[in-house]
Chain A
Amino acid sequence: DTGVSQDPRHKITKRGQNVTFRCDPISEHNRLYWYRQTLGQGPEFLTYFQNEAQLEKSRLLSDRFSAERPKGSFSTLEIQRTEQGDSAMYLCASSLEGTGAGEQYFGPGTRLTVT
């Protein structure tokens, strides 16, 4: 399968715990994006990478959130001291810069439930 993959698909955690999600983009794609989607809403941008450089962060991304893409391939999104408001679907997408509109291809998402 050559699409975007995310792991885990589901995560249930207790408030205050730390969680980490992984995203593996399409191999030749140099851009990688993280979005958050809550029920009844469209995805909201969190952050994105060009290769290993983090180029933009949304103000939605509080200090408890950190993302990395250390070798310009896979990326991790960590949430520290989780809160119930962090419960959402976390989506990863990738694209190839310089190919017209650079449409983004999405992974299946990681559904986080904070109890």
Chain B
Amino acid sequence: AQSVAQPEDQVNVAEGNPLTVKCTYSVSGNPYLFWYVQYPNRGLQFLLKYITGDNLVKGSYGFEAEFNKSQTSFHLKKPSALVSDSALYFCAGRPRGGNTPLVFGKGTRLSVIA
């Protein structure tokens, strides 16, 4: 079965410091991987995706993610955190071929402290 794991329920970081939100996956073949962000009482917003090619993917709002096939990881990163980045972050993945449903991690709550 396909699965995505986010090992940290909560990540706290000081404003201006770099942040990392971790994600590991168990998805067959070379997967498509995604990061979404959810603000209170709102739906999920697409941040970035990995399809193929460059292992460092750049997305919205200064976020980037690094795909590591050997470690089956897709960690989300940002060089300098903002208080406004505080939200719930979800990693998701699916196998290649067709628009099959996404499998989501449980989410990681990011708190950026001023």
The judgment on whether A and B are partners is yes
Please list the residues of chain A having a beta carbon within 8 angstroms of any beta carbon in chain B: 4, 6, 31, 33, 40-45, 48, 50, 56, 58, 91, 93, 95, 97, 100-109
- Surface stretch bound by A, among B11-19, B61-69, B71-79, B102-110: B102-110
Q: Could you say which of B43, B99, B104 contacts A42, with CB atoms under 8 Å apart? A: B104
Report 11 cross-chain contacts, Cβ distance below 8 Å, ordered by A residue: A41-B106, A42-B92, A42-B105, A43-B90, A44-B104, A50-B99, A58-B101, A93-B44, A97-B98, A97-B99, A102-B32
Residues A104 and B102 in contact, CB atoms below 8 Å apart: yes
Interface size on B, residues (CB 8 A): 25
In whole angstroms, how far apart are the Cα atoms of A6 and B44 in the complex? 13
In whole angstroms, how far apart are the Cα atoms of A102 and B100 in the complex? 9
Q: Could you list 6 further interchain pairs (A-B, Cβ under 8 angstroms) beyond the known A42-B104, A101-B50?
A: A4-B43, A41-B107, A45-B103, A106-B44, A107-B43, A109-B42
Q: Which residue of A lies closest to B50 (CB)?
A: A101
In whole angstroms, how far apart are the Cα atoms of A107 and B70 in the complex? 34
In whole angstroms, how far apart are the Cα atoms of A45 and B34 in the complex? 15
What residues of A have a CB within 8 angstroms of the CB of B36 in the complex? 106
Residues B101 and A56 in contact, CB atoms below 8 Å apart: yes
Q: Could you say which of B43, B46, B100, B107 contacts A91, with CB atoms under 8 Å apart? A: B43
What residues of B have a CB within 8 angstroms of the CB of A43 in the complex? 44, 90, 102, 104
In whole angstroms, how far apart are the Cα atoms of A35 and B22 in the complex? 23
* Closest chain A CB from B65 CB (angstroms): 13
Q: Could you say which of A40, A91, A104 contacts B106, with CB atoms under 8 Å apart? A: A40
Residues B101 and A48 in contact, CB atoms below 8 Å apart: yes
